[in-house]
Structure 1
Amino acid sequence: SPVGKAMATCDPKGPVAFMINKIKVDPHAGEVATGRLFSGTLHRGMELYVSGVVNTNRIQQTGIVMGAERVEVEEIPAGNIAAVTGLRDAIVGSTVSSEQSMTPFEQIKHVSEPVMTVAVEAKNTRDLPKVVEVLRQIAKEDPTLQVTINEETGEHLMAGMGELHLDVTVTRLQRDRGVELKTSPPIVVYRESVGGRAGPVEGKSPNHHNRFYIEFEPLELGVIEALKEGKISMKMEEVERRKVLLDKGMEKDEAKSIVGYFGTNVLLNMTKGIQYLRETMELILEGFEEALKNGPICREPAQGIKAKLVDVKLHEDAVHRGPAQVIPAVRQAVQAGILMADPVLLEPFQNVYIQVPQDQMGGAMSEIQGRRGVILNMDSQGDMIILKSKMPVAQMFGFSGAIRSATEGRALWSSEFAGFEPLPANLLQDTVKQIRTRKGLKPEMPKPSDYLKVV
């Protein structure tokens, strides 16, 4: 393509191809988007397209990055790291171009997932608009942070990679933005999944005229990883997608039947020749997504579930198979199916690396093992021991102070996200009760029959 040729030669006269990898809020200039300019030339007043947005954004200031400083210049040719203002619709990973039809750069993939959440509110109600704006800005600056509004309570929820990440973010907000905040104790983010098979589970529409039969089972681990890494997408050519799925362990009939996915959950259409199904599929996917966004175990997101649509009975009149009929039927079938397929709760883990003198190693190991941690590896460098361990995030509250006490302040430690693993069976009931009680739900886990009642 013309853009591809211009990028290959780093042509300053070619179409603009600009990849944003950092956004920072400057108290005077506003949002400053920084990234590499692969082709074209940027200058003030230029109208550019941001990937995923129809309208253009106008560049207000152009500058180049020199160390920690941003130096304003009239124009920036290809090859430079540019820092510009005015791209109000851009986020980290956005592609900015003078060509609306340009294929965006690959999405930036973040290894870590948010595993801990705090509720944030303004100490003074008059600061509420400022808090909303500041949280929106911080979410743009830090892609590993997720900011959402709980529509039931009106709380602003901030999810991050751990206790330290959230503490640092809140401190920065209060210090740099001058906003006084109140935060709740941190809450661990869990995931719901299945450990066995179930179905076909029948989902009936409220008017009894439509029925959906769905089977459930765990999704292949290879497929889950490929979805996380962005190697599988509904935008891919079907032949290419099928090849990836087969390589990752999915059966041939299933690999060609995927109709949609949500996170790391997939929906397969295993039916043949069902009338009106094609025009109803969008509503089926909506019901599937609604059920998995807030799973039945304790309203946590679901992951790693394979749902197979094996039979469908639809009313011939479109009026009787609209959103109010199809979405609840599919949602209830999915919720009941998860509870019938050996439901499991997945908890987040972190790899914890501790560097400690040999004479303090015992204290560090005791601290790890006392928090349901496992020592994975032990290495020595001179007088220092490097411990690699894995620990559930739920047990890491207060770890920073505890490891300092256990090693007389001589330990250095760091952590990284290590994925989700099933919660031990002996902790499942108590954990589910705690989460459900915190969310204002009935403490007991629901039964499949609770979801299969026709409204």
Structure 2
Amino acid sequence: SQADQDKMGVALSKLAQEDPSFRIHTDQESGQTIISGMGELHLDILVDRMKREFKVEANVGNPQVAYRETIRATTEIEGKFIRQTGGKGQHGHVWLRLEPLPEGGGYEFEDAVVGGAVPKEFIPSVDKGIQEQMSGGVLAGYPLVDMKATLYDGSFHDVDSNEMAFRIAATMAVRDGVMQADAALLEPVMKVEVVTPEDYMGDVMGDLTRRRGIVQGMDDSPAGKIIRAEVPLGEMFGYATAVRSATQGRASYSMEFAKYAEAPASVLQAILKRR
């Protein structure tokens, strides 16, 4: 109900004020509230607090991994949206150069049009169309990051050209261009620290390796050993239970975001299969 929705909104915004790593947004298509955090355990605690402290009952879905998409090569691509009907038609036509940026580079747009091939008033629409397509992704529907787009040519029609036609032409160019520019899926990788009695060290390390983890180092601690590893977030679901049962409840772990890294093809295939 609307009252429950409002109550949940208040609870979530209070939790977000206390915890800067907790984010909230609404999925425009489904109307669902999406909460983002640092992993399964973090989200479990937040949902539990929402129910206990704020008396909010909500249907909670399974956690999802925040994948990203990017490109690995530079390409030049044409986007053309031209429709002729009886009356006024549509004419949007662009040439874009798409280039990969370093990790964390975000998005850059450059207007390199010469001689008015694309009139100035339509250039913001091209930029907007590129960003719209980037937010919805191309490979598997995840946001596209770390890309520079340069608008360097195109054409227009005195009567049929408008902002919408150029926006659509730009989205078409990005959709085709990304597939041509060696697109890749990026997965979040977590920095994981496990404190375990020495007797269980082999089991813990074996389990981390099975989860595609890379052990970075080890230290001694009063409780035994501290194992430091980097593990893809998608492989960490159920880890709290697994590490407890492997060590008879004697190990503990902490986890924080480290970086985004290219995911193997098998991860992308599994995602596409689920769609």
Q: CA deviation at 1:208?
A: 5.4
Q: CA deviation at 1:205?
A: 4.7
**Match of residue 250, structure 2, among 410, 416, 427:** 410
What is the CA–CA distance in structure 1 between the aligned matches of 2:208 and 2:25, rounded to whole Å?
33
Aligned residue runs from structure 1 range 148-167, under 5 A: 148-167=25-44
What is the CA–CA distance in structure 2 between the aligned matches of 1:409 and 1:202, rounded to whole Å?
58
Amino acid at match of 1:204: F
What is the CA–CA distance in structure 2 between the aligned matches of 1:125 and 1:409, rounded to whole Å?
42
Give the length in aligned residue pairs: 270
8 Å Cα contact 1:200-1:310 kept in structure 2: no
Match of 1:433 in 2: 273
State the TM-score, normalizing by the size of structure 2.
Answer: 0.89
Match of 1:380 in 2: 220
- Which of structures 1 and 2 has the bigger CA Rg? 1
Question: Where does structure 2 lack aligned partners over 5 or more consecutive residues?
Answer: 84-88
Q: CA deviation at 1:187?
A: 1.0
What is the CA–CA distance in structure 2 between the aligned matches of 1:125 and 1:202, rounded to whole Å?
43
| 2:168 aligned with 1:286 | no
Amino acid at match of 2:94: F
Q: CA deviation at 1:430?
A: 2.2
Match of 1:241 in 2: none
Match of 2:86 in 1: none
Partner secondary structure for residue 372 of structure 1 = coil
The CA deviation string for residues 69-125 of structure 1, in whole angstroms up to 9 with x for no partner, is: xxxxxxxxxxxxxxxxxxxxxxxxxxxxxxxxxxxxxxxxxxxxxxxxxxxxxxx77
Partner secondary structure for residue 115 of structure 2 = coil
Match of 1:347 in 2: 187
Amino acid at match of 1:277: P
Q: CA deviation at 1:373?
A: 0.9
Q: CA deviation at 1:275?
A: 5.5
Question: Where does structure 1 lack aligned partners over 5 or more consecutive residues?
Answer: 1-123, 228-263, 438-455
8 Å Cα contact 1:201-1:215 kept in structure 2: no
| 2:81 aligned with 1:204 | yes
**Match of residue 62, structure 2, among 181, 185, 194:** 185
Q: CA deviation at 1:305?
A: 1.5
Identity %: 31
Match of 1:214 in 2: 96
What is the CA–CA distance in structure 2 between the aligned matches of 1:300 and 1:143, rounded to whole Å?
23
**Match of residue 234, structure 2, among 380, 394, 419:** 394
Amino acid at match of 2:215: I
8 Å Cα contact 1:205-1:326 kept in structure 2: no
Aligned residue runs from structure 1 range 32-51, under 5 A: none
What is the CA–CA distance in structure 2 between the aligned matches of 1:183 and 1:125, rounded to whole Å?
17
8 Å Cα contact 2:111-2:123 kept in structure 1: no
Match of 1:311 in 2: 153
Amino acid at match of 2:236: M
Q: CA deviation at 1:170?
A: 0.7
Q: CA deviation at 1:350?
A: 0.2
Match of 1:175 in 2: 52
State the TM-score, normalizing by the size of structure 1.
Answer: 0.56
8 Å Cα contact 1:276-1:316 kept in structure 2: no
Farther-moved stretch of structure 1 (422-431 vs 411-420): 422-431
Distance of aligned partners of 1:275 and 1:428 in 2 relative to their CA distance in 1, 3 Å threshold? closer
What is the CA–CA distance in structure 1 between the aligned matches of 2:240 and 2:118, rounded to whole Å?
58
**Match of residue 113, structure 2, among 267, 271, 278:** 271
What is the CA–CA distance in structure 2 between the aligned matches of 1:348 and 1:266, rounded to whole Å?
22
Which structure is higher in helix share?
Answer: 2
What is the CA–CA distance in structure 1 between the aligned matches of 2:263 and 2:224, rounded to whole Å?
33
Q: CA deviation at 1:186?
A: 0.8
8 Å Cα contact 2:78-2:93 kept in structure 1: no
Q: CA deviation at 1:126?
A: 5.4
Farther-moved stretch of structure 1 (178-187 vs 194-203): 194-203
